[in-house]
A and B are shown apart, each in its own frame.
Chain A
């Protein structure tokens, strides 16, 4: 199963890289002309096109670009002439920290809430948890972010309303600068995970082996945590994998709202400046991260549920 899953990832990675590569070739206008500005002569445009390799056949350009990417060389920024890889190295850790803290917050809140809601199915705790989860799913993260700024930054002055403090300037300040953006990003994910946990737990709690465990006199906590939660973890992990896409998309908006200089903000800056090589690189990193996380979650199934090792479920 592991090999099959790995083999499936290769064509998807290749397909997405073709799409990302084509962005630069499909956008209207000549990149060489836009680098040189309005005073460009025909000759200088031809020179720049040759220097960038834009005069080569498309497949050769793709080969050269992909080769560079494989070596970690994303080319140069058209506007600042900086190495794009350097920019990614500066920005990526911020996005990873933001997404990581958001995931952690969502998991810490959602799993216990989902478990409690399932154990108390139909009661007021269950109904309240479900209502809050729906609300969290329905509210865009930037709306939470803005309301959070109003309440926690402007109203209570607990956290800064925008800006980023690197970890080198102190753990506490670093966490304070990430707290509100990460919380805003985590609520929607938390809502989805709570519902999935509840639903997966209900399935498991209704199964014969749980009834048998109850009848055999196992304690409720042992049944819930040692047996049910472990078996409910496969659908939860699946959803976590799929929600990485939501979180990555969310970082684009949240970094913009909170002025965090991460990869998401770089995407928006690159789009607005028509800086397509940078856009290409950022999107490729996001897509590769999404594919990689889904690969890891698929492989995690086999660790969590040994039965899947022998089947060819993909």
Chain B
């Protein structure tokens, strides 16, 4: 029997493997697209709704209080008669700004520290990583609370607090990716050609280590939004009357029995946004990680 006559066990394995791989690639693409839709939807709501009526999110008494979803208040109104859609849109704006700022801070600081740790001598590497171990020893929410305790509340402080919480994660991922890249033959070739160390790091190691760092960043977006919402929920985030989704939910607790809508609207709004970023992060991870692709995880 020749190989053409029938599938050898090896071929069966290969075909099975490739079917799983295709299915995994397809499912990770579906995840990325679905997540992209959710995030794009939130971004559009955050940009477009405030354009229609910029003051609607804080306009007290603009409509009767605690209206159910309907017309003209599509998502109803809160206990002060403010439009819930306008407040969700403004809340999305705050969440996305804080999460983006935090991720950016962590990418800049963590990226630089990670590159430095990977390309320096072991004493500097050790110093950086052990210092970050101390930050990682704090549960994320508690470290953010420590930063808020020191600097006071507000959007910028939240950005900084969440950004610092993320620094060790980005540093570790950057360091691991940069160490892997530094072993590649093209980096050795550049060094052998006599390229300066800074050039090797910035032109060869850094750009080729970006993939895993960006995947991690997309996952951190989801975590950042959750952390912001959690801090605002317990009253340690953005101060009222700024419409944060966490703060909206916290206020909604008092009306949950008589007017459940007031809680359901921000709850679903947070859920959709975090789900969007989680799906993108998951999809990217599965798509870019060949090991995960082959095992359809």
- A129-144 residues with Cβ-Cβ distance < 8 A to B are 134-135, 137-140, 142-143
Given contacts A142-B249, A146-B267, contact A135 B275 (CB under 8 A): yes
Measured CB to CB, the closest approach of chain B to A215, in angstroms, equals 13
Please, could you name 16 A-B residue pairs with CB atoms under 8 Å apart, sorted by A? A12-B134, A13-B137, A15-B133, A20-B146, A26-B150, A138-B222, A146-B267, A149-B256, A154-B256, A206-B295, A245-B138, A249-B141, A252-B142, A267-B145, A268-B236, A283-B145
List residues of A (296-311) whose CB comes within 8 Å of B's CBs. none
Interface residues of A in 239-264 (CB under 8 A from B): 244-246, 248-250, 252-253, 256-257
Q: Count of A-B contacts with CB under 8 A?
A: 138
- Does B187 reach chain A (CB closer than 8 Å)? no
| Closest Cβ neighbor of A272 among chain B residues | B235
* Residues of chain A at interface, number, CB under 8 A: 52
A122-B278 contact, Cβ under 8 Å, with A154-B256, A257-B253, A271-B236: no
B78: Cβ under 8 A from any A Cβ:
no
Tell me whether A23 and B134 are in contact (CB under 8 A): no
Given contacts A146-B256, A150-B256, contact A134 B279 (CB under 8 A): yes
**Further contacts, 5 of them, CB under 8 A, given A143-B271, A271-B236, A279-B149:** A19-B138, A138-B279, A198-B297, A249-B140, A283-B142
Residues on B with C-beta less than 8 A from A27 are 149-150
Stretch at the interface among A44-52, A165-173, A222-230, A285-293: A285-293
Which 7 residue pairs are nearest across A and B when measured between Cβ atoms? A249-B141, A15-B134, A245-B139, A138-B275, A138-B278, A249-B139, A248-B139
Q: Which residues of A contact B263 (CB under 8 A)?
A: 146, 150
**Overall SS of chain A's interface:** helix
* Residue of B145, B222, B229, B246 ringed by the most chain A CB atoms within 10 A: B145
CB interface residues, B 269-297, toward A, < 8 Å:
270-271, 274-275, 278-279, 282, 295-297
User: Is B73 positioned at the interface, with any CB of A under 8 Å from its CB?
Assistant: no
Question: For the complex, is B131 an interface residue (Cβ under 8 Å from A)?
Answer: yes
Complex-state Cα separation, A86 to B290, whole angstroms: 54
User: Quick one: which of B222, B230, B234, B235 has the most chain A CB within 10 A?
Assistant: B234
Known: A15-B131, A252-B234, A257-B253. A138 touches B271 (CB 8 A): yes
Task: State which of B138, B149, B229, B256 has its C-beta within 8 Å of the C-beta of A271.
Answer: B149
CA distance A150 to B235 in the complex (A): 22
Contacts from A to B (Cβ < 8 Å): 11-13, 15-16, 19-20, 23, 26-28, 121-122, 134-135, 137-140, 142-143, 146-147, 149-150, 154, 198-199, 202-203, 206, 244-246, 248-250, 252-253, 256-257, 267-268, 271-272, 276, 279, 283, 286-287, 290-291
- Which chain A residue has the least Cβ–Cβ distance from B279? A134
Q: CB-CB < 8 A to A20: which residues of B?
A: 146
Q: How far is the CB of B244 from chain A (nearest CB, A)?
A: 13
Q: Are A23 and B230 in contact (CB under 8 A)?
A: no
B92 to chain A, nearest CB (A): 15
> Which residue on B lies nearest to A25, using beta carbons?
B150
Q: Is the CB of A287 within 8 A of B234?
A: no
